[in-house]
Amino acid sequence: MTAIVQCIPIYAEPPGLHDNSADVERLKRAVAEKTRSALLTVPLAQVTTVSGHFRQVKFSGAAVVNEREGRMELVDVLPEVPAFLPAMALDLGTTHLEATLVDLLTGTCLARANKENSQISCGDDILSRIHYAGRGNGLDELHDKIIATINDLACELASAAGVIVDQVRALSVSGNPTMVHLFLHLDPFYMCREPYIPVINAPDSCLAAELGLVISSSAPVVILPSVGSYFGGDLISGILSSGLDQSEQTCMLIDVGTNAEVVLGNSEWLIACAGAAGPALEGGVASMGMRAGPGAIEHVRIDPSTGETSFRTIDNQPARGICGSGIIDLVAELYLAQVIDLRGKFRPGAAPGLFQAADGTYGYRVVAAEHCADGKPVEVSQVDLDALMRSKAAMYAILSTLVGQVGLEFSDLAHIYVAGAFGRHIDPRKAVTLGMLPDLPLSVYEPVGNSSLAGAQQVLLHASSRERCRAIMQKITYVELNVNQEFMMRFSGSKFIPHTDRTLFPSVPVF
Amino acid sequence: MTAIVQCIPIYAEPPGLHDNSADVERLKRAVAEKTRSALLTVPLAQVTTVSGHFRQVKFSGAAVVNEREGRMELVDVLPEVPAFLPAMALDLGTTHLEATLVDLLTGTCLARANKENSQISCGDDILSRIHYAGRGNGLDELHDKIIATINDLACELASAAGVIVDQVRALSVSGNPTMVHLFLHLDPFYMCREPYIPVINAPDSCLAAELGLVISSSAPVVILPSVGSYFGGDLISGILSSGLDQSEQTCMLIDVGTNAEVVLGNSEWLIACAGAAGPALEGGVASMGMRAGPGAIEHVRIDPSTGETSFRTIDNQPARGICGSGIIDLVAELYLAQVIDLRGKFRPGAAPGLFQAADGTYGYRVVAAEHCADGKPVEVSQVDLDALMRSKAAMYAILSTLVGQVGLEFSDLAHIYVAGAFGRHIDPRKAVTLGMLPDLPLSVYEPVGNSSLAGAQQVLLHASSRERCRAIMQKITYVELNVNQEFMMRFSGSKFIPHTDRTLFPSVPVF
């Protein structure tokens, strides 16, 4: 383990007439004895702190050394190696930020916290933020907001771990390219205009003070690199934490957010694409849709003989809505109970939850009003079902196009890693029933949690992970689906439950 | 020639859907094609400028790349390689600053200027400045003053060369350790207290913006390193520009300022020392002493038969005083005309310039009042002579101790380089007559001008010179004379004209 910041015990002879070399040179020599690293710099802004502390500790203590782009930078001297050396890993999401405080000495997690992205007041999604940045001092405002949110998170983490926030010695950030641009105060203008070019893909590390962060001013800020405008550091993080780039067997990583982002590969090659399969799955489209959180229905069961609906909410709170995994469960159960047909349309007929609205369209009541948190029933309409059908078709089309691109079959995949809240809550059996995920043994599917955050932690802790980031960035091939004819064909074939080609889903019952 | 800043012509394909890598990565790729350097960073503060200019020039132009501690840092993009790429070399003296603007593309000097150090209002010499820095916000004040003086100089140079000051792309600084500390806003407190330890000997380069300089904000600021508290970057500069560290033959470099600083060596080894031989020679002690400048008497001739005194002043201005070389000339002539004896004492007797003061002591009038600028005669007293005798004795003792330390004789020296105004104005024959410099063929003595400034120019222009600085710093051995018994012995023997051991000076007449 070679953490991004190291604390190196040092011992130096006090100066005397026989050795009148300067404080900083004496210190560099003491560090070099321990690290065998020849090139060690001290930034001018740290010289007074470094030499002052070195004298305070009477020339023996512990040197704090940053690794920046392969070189070593000495930034502080402590009386001794502390009990822990905290650093912050951040998943910088468009909607939510999630962060951990990790100890760089041991790799243990000291605290975890999350917060809504306060930029939401300037626009819900990436595109509206890019437009906002282009107006007046919009970029300043967006930058200030995200820095404020991160500072709040940092204070919260520090207080939970019982450390002083300016003792947080590093920050790693994993996010989509737009969020990274706003964080670094870079104009995302060209990212939403053909040919969609970011200012930067792989920013060199900077120091916390340059960004107005309240953690240690000399903390290095490491950004996970991106590829193009759409394949962000969050996904590079996912590859890193799932180990896709080191796997002998070919595996797949699926990350569902606003877009579905998919990577396929092994230690030899990596291929990736992204497509708009997400909204319905993330809970953004269905009228009762919500993100996976307390009160969200995450599992639904419909007794095929009685049509009775049972469900489970997150944290067992009264139902407020239905999250992505809940919708998938529901629609799969509706299909298995024959309440909907293979086109995803309600079948008029007897079913306890089915009802007909005033306009003649059908709907399905999952939870009656009296059992819900807000006194409003949780229902899905035909419109919601149609949106889900498009999403699931897009998802399967994306996966099968990507696998087809490299001449493989789904059965060649050793693992399919499913990231994020979607991966944590989804029941792969139900997704297979719908024809959203391929019909493989369920053991192939593996939830990997917030892999964006996990990757951010890894780059804090391991030099090898930092090197892998660059290697992944160089190696990955991005497939543009918008101009892909095969994708469009596969999309049409996937608009049925489970698929027009039923031989692809032998485990799904036919009615 | 690998200058500290390079301007590299680049050509990149404009972005398109087939290649959507980011601006900065596209630019880095274009530079890497030309430099074969893998590691190229862009500081966060420059990312917006760099990418903006890269788009303005339509992806083809010239990249401005700094070299910093062996790594390459991209800081700007220009439409094309400009007519010249100006950088400033600075000799940062306690009393005076001297600077040149050099073109990094060709090495030619574009302008030259000098200015009084405005810190003089806070103290005349190094020691009083160190004390001043320790009181209240004295350090801030000294730092601000020196930055202001340098900014004035930079503007003057830029205007003389017809360039805009923020187009000055680099700065190199050669100065004594105290001046360098004040320039970098580092506390010199411990430098005047045993064991005399500076904060730093070899600062890593910083950027002009960090110091409040008005040259290009991304200009690297390179500092010539020092050894200990007394052997400054100005002397490393001298070694560099005289080539002492690369010479096959053993040579010596003498730099006389407030101290006499001497280096002896060749390509194999370097040994140095400093001693208080300077004041009388620099013109700071004699009652009529002055620095070498207009109106200073620099040469004196006394006709041995008539005792008539003739003289020459700098710029042929009416006499105002006498500078170091003038005093040496005068005292040598006084000795040859037998107005003083071998102890440097006036001999009562007939000599046109000799006079007896009211207190009975003797003095010598070099120029009568009516020929002087201020209507005051230029005279030297016995006290002045005694001071000069101590200085000349110290100088010879320093030189002979240093040569003796390595078991050599003066006759082993191929060249003796004499730096600064002292070297430019001194007549070595007279210094030999006094026994201040060893009795060697006059061709051995070589004036080298402002070698501090010359070295500062070299590090701007040549990577090899920057590497040599570090090598010199590692290689040099510093001899402490204050605790050297042999030095004290040699000092006593040198208190006569030319020396107690007359066989050392065969060319000097005996009376």
Query: Which residue carries 């040496």 as its tokens?
Result: B328
Q: What is the pLDDT of residues B415-436, one digit of tens each?
A: 999 998 778 888 999 999 999 9
- Integer Cα distance of A48 and A251 in angstroms: 51
Contact A187 B48 (CB under 8 A): yes
pLDDT, position A343: 94
**A281 DSSP β-pair partners:** none
Please tell me the total number of residues recorded for chain B in this structure.
Answer: 511
Give me A277's structure tokens. 């399969």
Q: What is the pLDDT of residues B249-305, one digit of tens each?
A: 999 999 887 678 899 999 999 999 887 665 555 555 567 778 778 899 989 999 988
Candidate from A17, A184, A196 with C-beta closest to B44? A184
Nearest to B96 by CA among B176, B185, B4, B199: B176
- Integer Cα distance of B265 and B75 in angstroms: 39
Query: Which residue carries 């303005």 as its tokens?
Result: B56
pLDDT, position A77: 98
Contact A51 B200 (CB under 8 A): yes
Return mean pLDDT, chain B. Answer: 92
SS3 A303: coil
Q: What is the pLDDT of residues A448-457, one digit of tens each?
A: 999 999 999 9
Angle between helices A485-493 and A382-405 (to 10 degrees): 130
Nearest to B142 by CA among B95, B185, B90: B185
- Integer Cα distance of A379 and A385 in angstroms: 11
Across the range A501-507, mean pLDDT stands at 94
Whole-prediction pTM: 0.91
pLDDT, position A38: 66
- DSSP state at residue B352: T
- Integer Cα distance of B469 and B467 in angstroms: 5
ipTM of the complex: 0.90
pLDDT, position B511: 82
Instruction: Please determine, for residue B89, whether its predicted confidence score (pLDDT) is greater than 70.
Output: yes
Question: Residue A230 carries which side chain, given as an amino acid letter?
Answer: Y
Chain B's closest residue to A202, CA to CA, is B25
Nearest to B256 by CA among B188, B174, B325, B173: B325
The alpha carbon of A192 is separated from its chain's Cα centroid by a whole number of angstroms, namely 21
- Name residues 105-144 of chain B within 8 A of A (Cβ): none
* Beta carbons within 10 angstroms of residue A437's beta carbon: 26
- Integer Cα distance of A460 and A219 in angstroms: 12
The answer to whether residue B38 neighbours chain A at the CB level (below 8 Å) is no
Across the range A155-177, mean pLDDT stands at 97
- DSSP state at residue A297: E
Question: Residue B91 in contact with residue B97, Cβ under 8 Å?
Answer: yes
Candidate from A44, A71, A185 with C-beta closest to B210? A44
Which of A23, A140, A199 should we substitute to test contact with B (largest number of B Cβ atoms within 10 Å)? A199
Give me A126's structure tokens. 């990436």
The answer to whether residue A20 neighbours chain B at the CB level (below 8 Å) is yes
Across the range B163-191, mean pLDDT stands at 97
Question: Residue A462 carries which side chain, given as an amino acid letter?
Answer: H
pLDDT, position A256: 81
* Beta carbons within 10 angstroms of residue B316's beta carbon: 8
Question: Residue A31 in contact with residue A92, Cβ under 8 Å?
Answer: no
Instruction: Please determine, for residue A279, whether its predicted confidence score (pLDDT) is greater than 70.
Output: no
In degrees rounded to 5, what are phi and psi of residue A342? -70, -10
Distant-in-sequence, close-in-space partners of A339: CB < 8 Å, separation ≥ 6:
A302, A307, A346, A347, A351, A353, A354, A364
- Integer Cα distance of B339 and B218 in angstroms: 61
pLDDT, position B175: 95
Contact B201 A21 (CB under 8 A): yes
Question: Residue B75 in contact with residue B43, Cβ under 8 Å?
Answer: yes
pLDDT, position A420: 82
Nearest to A498 by CA among A380, A335, A272: A335
The answer to whether residue B360 neighbours chain A at the CB level (below 8 Å) is no
Contact A199 B17 (CB under 8 A): no
pLDDT, position A278: 52
Burial B165-181 (b: 16+ CB within 10 A, else e): bbbbbbbbbbbbbbbbb
The alpha carbon of B397 is separated from its chain's Cα centroid by a whole number of angstroms, namely 22
Contact A69 B69 (CB under 8 A): no
The answer to whether residue A471 neighbours chain B at the CB level (below 8 Å) is no
Across the range A332-343, mean pLDDT stands at 94
Q: Which of A90-99, B75-84, B198-207, B384-393 has the lowest mean pLDDT?
A: B384-393
Q: What is the pLDDT of residues B299-353, one digit of tens each?
A: 999 998 898 999 999 999 999 988 888 889 999 999 999 999 999 999 988 788 9
Instruction: Please determine, for residue A100, whether its predicted confidence score (pLDDT) is greater than 80.
Output: yes
Which of A13, A17, A18, A20 should we substitute to test contact with B (largest number of B Cβ atoms within 10 Å)? A20
Contact B203 A44 (CB under 8 A): yes
The answer to whether residue A200 neighbours chain B at the CB level (below 8 Å) is yes
Give me B64's structure tokens. 């401005």
- Integer Cα distance of A467 and A69 in angstroms: 10
Q: In the 3-class helix/strand/coil scheme, how is B372-417 assigned residue by residue?
A: ECCCCCEEEEHHHHHHHHHHHHHHHHHHHHHHHHCCCCHHHCCEEE
Across the range A2-7, mean pLDDT stands at 96
SS3 A84: coil
pLDDT, position B1: 66
pLDDT band at B38; cut points 50, 70, 90 = low
Contact A194 B22 (CB under 8 A): no
Nearest-Cα distance to chain B for A114, in Å, is: 27
Nearest to B72 by CA among B52, B43, B101: B43
Chain A contact set for B196 (CB, 8 A): 17, 20
Give me B44's structure tokens. 């966060």
Q: Which of A94-98, A123-127, A228-232 has the lowest mean pLDDT?
A: A228-232
Across the range A367-393, mean pLDDT stands at 90
pLDDT band at A135; cut points 50, 70, 90 = very high
Long-range (24+ apart) CB contacts under 8 A made by B68-72 are: B68/B204, B68/B205, B68/B220, B69/A39, B69/A41, B69/A71, B69/B204, B69/B205, B70/A39, B71/A69, B71/A71, B71/B39, B71/B41, B72/B31, B72/B35, B72/B37, B72/B39, B72/B40, B72/B41
For B226-254, the DSSP string reads -BTTTB-HHHHHHHHHHTGGG-SS-EEEE
Give me A5's structure tokens. 């910041």
In degrees rounded to 5, what are phi and psi of residue A309? -100, 130
Give me B313's structure tokens. 């002043």
Which of B13, B18, B25 should we substitute to test contact with A (largest number of A Cβ atoms within 10 Å)? B25
Maximal C-alpha separation, chain A = 99
Helix H or strand E encompassing B273: strand B270-275
Residue A218 buriedness (CB in 10 A; 0-12 / 13-18 / 19+): buried
**A87 DSSP β-pair partners:** A102
Nearest to B447 by CA among B489, B490, B416, B484: B416
Antiparallel, parallel or unpaired: β B270-275 and B296-302: unpaired
Q: Could you tell me the CA-to-CA distances from B80 to A192, B22, B40, B56 in Å, in that order?
A: 30, 22, 20, 12
Q: What is the pLDDT of residues A124-133, one digit of tens each?
A: 888 999 999 9
- Name residues 68-97 of chain B within 8 A of A (Cβ): 69-71
H-only helix segments in A134-207 = 138-161, 177-183
Instruction: Please determine, for residue A316, whether its predicted confidence score (pLDDT) is greater than 60.
Output: yes
- Name residues 166-185 of chain A within 8 A of B (Cβ): 184-185
Instruction: Please determine, for residue A392, whether its predicted confidence score (pLDDT) is greater than 70.
Output: yes
Return mean pLDDT, chain A. Answer: 92
- Integer Cα distance of B15 and B13 in angstroms: 6
**A304 DSSP β-pair partners:** none
Contact A39 B184 (CB under 8 A): no
Q: Could you tell me the CA-to-CA distances from A361 to A382, A503, B273, B403 in Å, in that order?
A: 7, 32, 99, 107
Whole-number percent of chain A with pLDDT over 90: 76
Question: Residue B155 in contact with residue B115, Cβ under 8 Å?
Answer: no
